[in-house]
Amino acid sequence: MKRAQVLMIAATLLLLTAVSTLLFSQSKVKFDQPVLITSAGQSADVTIAGMLFKKANVQARAISLAKASDLEGIKTLVVVAGFSSKGLGAAGISREQELDRVKSLLAAAQEKKLKIVTFHLGGKARRGNQSDDFNKMAAEVSSYLLVVKQGNEDQFFSKLAAEKKIAIELVDKIADAVQPLAKMFEK
Amino acid sequence: MERHHIVALCLLIVVAVVCTLAGREFLKMHEPDEIIPGQGVTKIENLSTYFGALAGMSSDTKVYILDSGRPGATALVLGGTHPNEPAGFMTAVVLTEHASAREGRLIVIPQVCGSGFTCTDPLEGYPQSFSVQSKSKMRTFRFGARGSNPLTEWPDPLVFLQYPSGQQLSGNEVRNLNRSYPGRPDGTVTERIAFAVMQLIERENVDIAFDLHEAAPEIPIINAIVTHEKGKDAAASALFTLESENLQYALEMSPPNFHGLSHREWGDRSPVFPYLMETSNPIQGRLRGKTNEALVVQGVDQKYYEAAQIGSMRITYNLEGEPLARRVGRHLRGVQALLGAYMESMPEKRIVVDNVPAYEQILERGIGEYLH
């Protein structure tokens, strides 16, 4: 293959990557209301997500321990991923019980063909072995990931998004998530 | 006198000298630290004012009241729940020596577990004290133990039955103030301290309270705000404020079924909005290297740096370490942000505290700049 052809292919690939990143980062993926917010790992980041929805003027109901029956009438399921031992203690459940709950909830949402979104807001504090089972479980069945960059320093979410062809928005700070969130639900 | 008598006498003298020096060091831990009230302090009480049985004991401690004279909310700041977590009590010392209330009242107890300041934890190799250069002199503060002095309530039971929940914890937790709330008047020394704090909260009509802590850098709950469910919206709002200033915090909920903790029992048993805050303190961690005064103050540890390099840390840790000034700065800013968020949710209950050094100021100038 000639050098010019190699350069051409490389340039095309680069362009395609840039365009797809731009499209994804512009939150072109649209979602409908009503929205249910739940946790995967029982961190208090659900409360933060609730506040983001308020700031973005998007109606959403938050149930940290949501079950399949709570999906009735819901169009978008937002899963706030990240493990918290205190949160599990507060919920009175074990990590295994939480993994089972999240797994069944996600399966039910997929069966109902709901759109699933994963939020990862807690940065490094919500990474590591305990959290990553929840992060992966939720992210890989999502159609959109909204991630605070500090939690993606090792490209955990970016790699997963590229592999599964999932749209991803990386924000510097939690507060920066308001704008893409509002765009997600723009009519 | 025969030769062996002389040798024995010499040995006895050496032993006596060693014992005297060790005894002096031991007794030094019972000498109270100098805390110099600033102009903002309008009244000084003892914790025994709220529960008389503490009077004259090592567990009694000073309570500093900064009253604006204007109506508003009352905030309580506790440092020294765990006396081996110096950023907690040094934050309270800075508030006592430098802050003033413009609206409402601030009550500060820098060394709430007075008994725990009279010893260090065995086998940890902790220094007995650390020093900070203030504007006028070198200030030395004791570095204590996690719990009350075992001499005050020896021996620990095999299993600690938390009162009144009946929750079972390991025996040494019987001396942990932050497992002992609400306490009881006829309980252990630690339960009596907890009881006195509950009495203070009730009698002073405290609206919002802070329990300032530190934890090992490798555990998940560091740089965190732990909240009772009633305070979670204000905590989330404060977290946004802090994040906008590049101070990352994790929000953690207080488990309702884990009893004896300040953020649980204060919130369940009084109208107070309770918050516990944690910074990251390398001297408490298992990965630490040399354990000395420099580690308390500068927070630089090569082993933690190496751990960060291999991705084993949940915080960013570089060769600047986690200095005491940064940890105190975080606590001070956290308290201010939570007070602000509290006022947003309770506009009729205002509390404004002035002369609290900003995070950047304390980083740049050090803690000593704000001590007498």
CB-nearest partner of A90 from B223, B239, B253: B253
Number of domains in chain A: 1
- pLDDT (average), residues B332-342: 98
- pLDDT (average), residues B307-329: 89
Within 8 A of A176 by CB-CB distance, chain B residues are: none
Q: Do B233 and A87 touch (CB under 8 A)?
A: no
ipTM score of complex = 0.81
- B230 interface with A at CB cutoff 8 Å: no
Q: Is residue A175 part of a domain?
A: yes
- Contact A45/A122 with Cβ under 8 angstroms? yes
Q: Can you give the pLDDT at residue B83?
A: 98
Q: Is residue A151 part of a domain?
A: yes
Which CATH number characterizes residue A50's domain? 3.40.50
Residues 313-332 of B with CB under 8 A from A: 313-316
Ordered structural domains, chain B, with CATH: 40-370 (3.40.630)
Q: Is residue A6 part of a domain?
A: no
Q: Categorize the per-residue pLDDT at B315 as very low, low, confident or very high, splitting at 50, 70 and 90.
A: confident
Q: State yes or no: pLDDT of A15 exceeds 60.
A: no
Q: Is residue A99 part of a domain?
A: yes
> pLDDT > 90: what percent of chain B?
94
Q: Is residue A18 part of a domain?
A: no
Taking CA atoms, what residue in B is nearest to A176? Answer: B244
Q: Do A84 and B253 touch (CB under 8 A)?
A: yes
Q: Do A45 and B239 touch (CB under 8 A)?
A: no
The DSSP element (H or E) to which B353 belongs, if any, is: strand B352-354
Q: Can you give the pLDDT at residue A28?
A: 64
- pLDDT (average), residues B56-64: 95
Q: Can you give the pLDDT at residue A11?
A: 66
Residues 5-64 of A with CB under 8 A from B: 43-45, 47-48, 50-51
Taking CA atoms, what residue in B is nearest to A45? Answer: B251
pLDDT tens, residue by residue, B124-161: 999 999 999 999 999 999 999 999 999 999 999 999 99
Residue range of the domain that includes A119 = 26-184
CB-nearest partner of B254 from A45, A90, A122: A90
Contacts of A18 (CB under 8 A, 6+ apart): none
Range from A4-8, A22-26, A106-110, B208-212 carrying the lowest mean pLDDT: A22-26
